[in-house]
């Protein structure tokens, strides 16, 4: 299964509460912090909700 490396590139200050919660649930707390997740529809949906705050790259494992 492919993995995704998700990196926070923008602050959550001024964002809606649900977007802040989504970033937190992805395991991100600081700008330039990264987390690796399996590529699933649930994770893709969370990324779509906060796509303006994160960057995503595919990791070969």
- The CATH code of the domain at 3-59 is 3.30.1390.20
How far apart, in whole angstroms, are the C-alpha atoms of residue 40 and residue 49? 15
DSSP reduced 3-state for 12: coil
How far apart, in whole angstroms, are the C-alpha atoms of residue 15 and residue 57? 23
Domain boundaries, the chain: 3-59
pLDDT value of residue 54: 98
Residues 2-59: tens digit of each pLDDT: 999 999 999 999 999 999 999 999 999 999 999 999 999 999 999 999 999 999 999 9
State the DSSP string of 16-61: -HHHHHHHHHTT--STT-EEEEE--HHHHHHHHHTTTTEEEEEE--
């Amino acid at each position: 299964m492919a993995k995704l490396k998700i990196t926070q590139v923008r602050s959550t200050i001024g964002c809606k509460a649900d977007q802040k919660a989504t970033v937190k649930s992805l395991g991100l707390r600081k700008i330039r912090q990264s987390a690796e997740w399996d590529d699933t529809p649930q994770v893709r949906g969370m990324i779509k909700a906060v796509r303006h705050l994160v960057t995503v790259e595919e990791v070969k494992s």
